[in-house]
């Protein structure tokens, strides 16, 4: 299940996208590939996939460092909610 990305996920994945796009374009230039729409789509797809992987790695490492984030539960029973709040160590 996907969660909202952290700010580090956005920063790292954006930087990785542009770096990978530059390297893929450079590689295709060395191979003599012709400029065009297919090449642009290929560069975009490869950079996007690597960027997505880098963002997931950032989220994974952040989860390992900080631990899992608690999820909020909607409870209509106020007394149950008060018991849960009082059990949290402060």
Residue spans of the domains in the chain: they are 7-87
**pLDDT 10s digit of each residue in the chain, 90 long?**
445 667 888 899 999 999 999 999 999 999 988 889 999 999 999 999 999 999 999 988 888 887 776 655 554 666 776 777 777 665
pTM of the full predicted structure?
0.67
Distance CA 75, CA 84 (A): 11
Q: Are 22 and 49 in contact (CB under 8 A)?
A: no
């Amino acid at each position: 299940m996907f969660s909202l990305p952290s700010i580090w996920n956005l920063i790292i994945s954006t930087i990785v996208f542009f770096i990978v796009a530059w390297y893929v374009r450079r590689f295709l230039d060395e191979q003599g590939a012709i400029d065009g729409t297919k090449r642009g789509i290929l560069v975009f797809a490869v950079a996007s996939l690597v960027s997505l992987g880098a963002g997931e790695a950032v989220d994974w490492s952040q989860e390992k460092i900080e631990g899992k984030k608690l999820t909020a539960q909607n409870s209509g029973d106020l007394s149950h909610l008060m018991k849960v709040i009082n059990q949290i160590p402060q």
